[in-house]
Amino acid sequence: MERVNESLTAERYRVFSQIDAQDLSTFYSDLAIAIADDTELLEMIDTLPAAKRHAGFLFAAARFHGVDMNDFETFRRDLLERWYDIAETARTRTLQTNDPARMLAILPILSEIDGPIALIEVGASAGLNLNADRYSYRWGGSEWLHPRSGPSAVRLAGDIDGPVPVPSRMPDIRWRAGIELNPLDIEDDDDRRWLTALLWPDHASRRDNLQEAIEVLREHPVSIIEGDLNDRLAELAAEVPDGLTLVVMHSAVLPYVTQDEAERFVRTVRDLGAVWISNELADVVPQVTGSPVSSNAFSFVVARDGVPVAHAHPHGVWVSWHAPTARSDGDESS
């Protein structure tokens, strides 16, 4: 009987294939399980820093350098031939997926906040999600929700389950800014290619929406300040104009900081008195507890002010709502 590779990296690639990528990407799932049994590739991957060996990150670096992902043998050949450049990209780049579809899980909460909003996104990447009110949305079989200016070229649609509070209006965002450790510049060719490479390849609509969101950002640029979330959040919040409700949101950010850093961040958000919207993997956000169990082990938990209200597909394919959000008092007219 052929011996199964028992290295830690091999096991992580099997887990990625069977759990992380199972419902997200057949391409990535198949590649990961093949790599898990390939000693030469595993030894090569293990030359990378531990944080850069993750399958999804490696695949993004490979796609960035034009590696063919359609079958394992071609992928393997291209990976070996271009390894020097791929490894250099893996060492110097960071995982900064900027998928507008994640806003399908967040916009229902934003739309329930009365009055004008000041929106801060932590881990903003290129800032695409800060233009959330400039995209068109549809949840399940609902009518499309369009920006006040009319239908957007960015059209985000996902399946729903449970009492999703499907918005009837766009949030009134009057001020917006982001914090990012390594901001991506949409005018930089390599940064745009990296944003595209980070998207998993199974859904062409995600790539199309990304390109359209880049065009929206060109028309409506947003402010992104460079720095650590804990070092810059209070400073940025101090710039919010009077009369606006401060909202701090983040998605797929806190797994990349330490527990102490995450706890400090949550204390800062609470001290600011902000509405806090998180969309993260379970068990990575301090003070978010009591989330119902999801049938998908890799789903995100969506929470408002630390209270879980939903699970969501990491790429916005579906949202499963568990509880109504807390509405603010006051007039809800747009």
Clarify whether residues 191 and 207 are in a common domain: yes
Clarify whether residues 75 and 178 are in a common domain: no
How does strand 155-161 pair with strand 136-139? Answer: parallel
CB 20 within 8 A of CB 315: no
Position 12 in a domain: yes
| Of the residues 92, 117, 150, the one at which a domain ends | 92
Pick the residue with more confidence: 34 or 330?
34
Position 1 in a domain: no
Q: How far apart are CA 99 and CA 45, in angstroms?
A: 26
Q: How far apart are CA 179 and CA 122, in angstroms?
A: 5
Of 112, 137, 232, 122, residue with least CA distance to 176 = 122
Q: What is the pLDDT of residue 36?
A: 96
Clarify whether residues 148 and 80 are in a common domain: no
Position 326 in a domain: no
Q: What are phi and psi of 308, to 5 degrees?
A: -65, 135
Clarify whether residues 72 and 147 are in a common domain: no
Residue 2's pLDDT band (cuts 50, 70, 90) = very low
Pick the residue with more confidence: 240 or 290?
240
The DSSP code for 199 is S
Clarify whether residues 74 and 138 are in a common domain: no
Q: What is the pLDDT of residue 292?
A: 63
Q: What is the pLDDT of residue 3?
A: 45
How many domains does the chain contain in total?
Answer: 2
Q: What is the pLDDT of residue 1?
A: 36
Per-residue pLDDT reduced to its tens digit, 213-261: 999 999 999 999 999 999 999 999 999 999 999 999 999 999 889 999 9
Q: What is the pLDDT of residue 11?
A: 95
Clarify whether residues 259 and 194 are in a common domain: yes
| Distance (Å) of CA 120 to CA 96, 250, 310 | 17, 9, 21
What is the rounded average pLDDT of the residues 280-300?
73
What is the rounded average pLDDT of the residues 203-221?
94
Q: To which residue do tokens 């797929």 refer?
A: 252
Extract the tokens encoding 131.
């233009």
Which SS3 state, helix, strand or coil, does residue 281 take?
strand
Of 113, 110, 118, residue with least CA distance to 243 = 118
| Of the residues 92, 114, 139, the one at which a domain ends | 92
Inform me whether the pLDDT recorded for 58 exceeds 90.
yes
Of 16, 207, 249, 222, residue with least CA distance to 123 = 249
Q: What is the pLDDT of residue 324?
A: 58
Extract the tokens encoding 208.
């199309």
How does strand 117-122 pair with strand 136-139? Answer: unpaired
Clarify whether residues 191 and 277 are in a common domain: yes
Position 327 in a domain: no
Position 212 in a domain: yes
Extract the tokens encoding 26.
């057949």
Per-residue pLDDT reduced to its tens digit, 103-156: 999 999 999 998 899 999 999 999 999 999 999 999 999 999 999 999 999 999
Proportion of the chain above pLDDT 70, given as a percent: 92
| Of the residues 54, 75, 92, the one at which a domain ends | 92
| Distance (Å) of CA 260 to CA 178, 227, 263, 277 | 22, 17, 5, 20
Per-residue pLDDT reduced to its tens digit, 163-192: 999 999 999 999 999 999 999 999 999 999
Clarify whether residues 224 and 140 are in a common domain: yes
Residue 70's pLDDT band (cuts 50, 70, 90) = confident
Q: What is the pLDDT of residue 294?
A: 56
What is the rounded average pLDDT of the residues 18-38?
88
Clarify whether residues 281 and 257 are in a common domain: yes
Domain containing residue 110: CATH number: 3.40.50
Extract the tokens encoding 303.
């929470």
Extract the tokens encoding 254.
């806190």
Q: What is the pLDDT of residue 121?
A: 98
Pick the residue with more confidence: 7 or 153?
153
Residue 332's pLDDT band (cuts 50, 70, 90) = very low
Clarify whether residues 195 and 65 are in a common domain: no
Helix/strand number for the chain, H first, E second: 11, 10
Handedness of CA 10, 13, 17, 18 (dihedral sign): positive
Position 111 in a domain: yes
Of 9-13, 18-22, 136-140, 230-234, minimum mean pLDDT range: 18-22
Q: How far apart are CA 263 and CA 282, in angstroms?
A: 15
What domain range includes position 135? Answer: 100-321
Clarify whether residues 298 and 159 are in a common domain: yes
Clarify whether residues 179 and 67 are in a common domain: no
| Distance (Å) of CA 288 to CA 164, 277, 281 | 20, 11, 11
